[in-house]
């Protein structure tokens, strides 16, 4: 049985797109970048921790496979996670305005038989945002719970001037890479 170790409704929705059966596991792992850890290593480690925590939470793991994922926005080697509050969201959006940032998503598939990982990196160019636009976007509530304080799948799409990479990866679960992991694990996604 496939499990998705995630509380994110976006990841659930994205995995459903692949047409595979799965159950959801609630996991909560600390997300703190270690000193000297590269953004890519950090994202991968957190995704692995989520998948491992999910596997550990199963009473009878048997031949279960658990997917864990993490997504972060990276600008100038700085990692932007989910904003703490409105002021943090405003600060992130000011920094992203008019610039190109990376979105890194990592996915791990773990089971008793082993562990495999895929990392997907996209480049996103933001429009230049003025203060009223930032204030209105934060007031909409959409930035909360989203890395970098925006959602490509929502009103945030209006601020994305260019995407070079994976739409599903930016949204939280890169589906091309996830499907490849599942096939390696013996699960055939639809299509
Ligand atoms: C950049 C971007 C991120 N996001 C979301 C995806 C993730 O839910 C979130 C990044 O936070 P994560 O820590 O990756 O995930 P999470 O805490 O929401 O869920 P879980 O750890 O339980 O799996 O940002 C969007 O929905 N749209 C976007 O455009």
Binned at pLDDT 50, 70 and 90, residue 191 comes out as: low
Domain membership of residue 151 (yes or no) is: yes
Q: What's the gap in Å between 188 CA and the centre of ligand 1?
A: 25
Is residue 50 within 6 Å of ligand 1 at its C-beta? yes
Q: What is the pLDDT of residue 20?
A: 97
Q: Which of 25, 66, 32, 64 is nearest to 46 (CA)?
A: 32
Q: What's the gap in Å between 147 CA and the centre of ligand 1?
A: 6
Is residue 168 within 6 Å of ligand 1 at its C-beta? no
**pLDDT, tens only, 10-69:** 999 999 999 999 999 999 999 999 999 999 999 999 999 999 999 999 988 788 999 999
CATH number at 17 reads 3.90.950.10
Domain membership of residue 126 (yes or no) is: yes
Q: Is the ipTM of this complex over 0.95?
A: yes
- What is the tally of structural domains in the chain? 1
Binned at pLDDT 50, 70 and 90, residue 189 comes out as: confident
State the pTM of this model: 0.97
Q: What is the pLDDT of residue 61?
A: 79
For the CA of 147, the nearest atom of ligand 1: 24
Domain membership of residue 169 (yes or no) is: yes
Q: What is the pLDDT of residue 83?
A: 98
Q: How far apart are the first and last CA of the chain?
A: 20
- Return d(Cα 20, Cα 27) in angstroms, integer: 21
Is residue 122 within 6 Å of ligand 1 at its C-beta? no
For the CA of 9, the nearest atom of ligand 1: 8
Domain membership of residue 191 (yes or no) is: no
Domain membership of residue 190 (yes or no) is: no
Domain membership of residue 166 (yes or no) is: yes
Q: What's the gap in Å between 6 CA and the centre of ligand 1?
A: 9
Q: Output DSSP code: residue 8.
A: -
- Alpha carbon nearest to ligand 1 atom 13, residue: 70
Parent domain of 147: 2-185
Active site residue 70: yes
Q: Which residues contact 63 (CB under 8 A, 6 or more apart)?
A: 1, 111, 112, 113
Domain membership of residue 78 (yes or no) is: yes
Q: Which of 25, 34, 51 is nearest to 182 (CA)?
A: 51
**pLDDT, tens only, 103-160:** 999 999 999 999 999 999 999 999 999 999 999 999 999 999 999 999 999 999 999 9
């Amino acid at each position: 049985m496939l499990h998705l170790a995630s509380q994110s409704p976006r990841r659930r929705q994205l995995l459903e797109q692949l047409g595979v059966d799965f159950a959801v596991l609630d996991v909560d792992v600390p997300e703190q970048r270690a000193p000297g850890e590269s953004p890519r290593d950090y994202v991968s480690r957190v995704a692995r921790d989520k998948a491992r925590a999910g596997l550990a939470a199963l009473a009878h793991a048997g031949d279960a496979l658990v997917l864990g994922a993490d997504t972060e926005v990276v600008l100038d080697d700085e990692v932007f996670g989910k904003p703490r509050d409105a002021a943090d969201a405003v600060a992130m959006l000011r920094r992203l305005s008019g610039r190109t940032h990376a979105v890194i998503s990592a996915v791990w598939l773990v089971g008793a038989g082993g562990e495999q990982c895929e990392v997907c990196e996209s480049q996103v160019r933001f429009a230049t945002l003025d203060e009223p636009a930032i204030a209105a976007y934060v007031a909409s509530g959409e930035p909360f719970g989203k890395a970098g304080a925006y959602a490509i799948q929502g009103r945030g799409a209006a601020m994305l001037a260019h995407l070079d990479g994976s739409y599903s990866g930016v949204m939280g679960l890169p589906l091309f890479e996830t499907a490849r992991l599942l096939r390696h694990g013996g699960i055939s996604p639809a299509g």
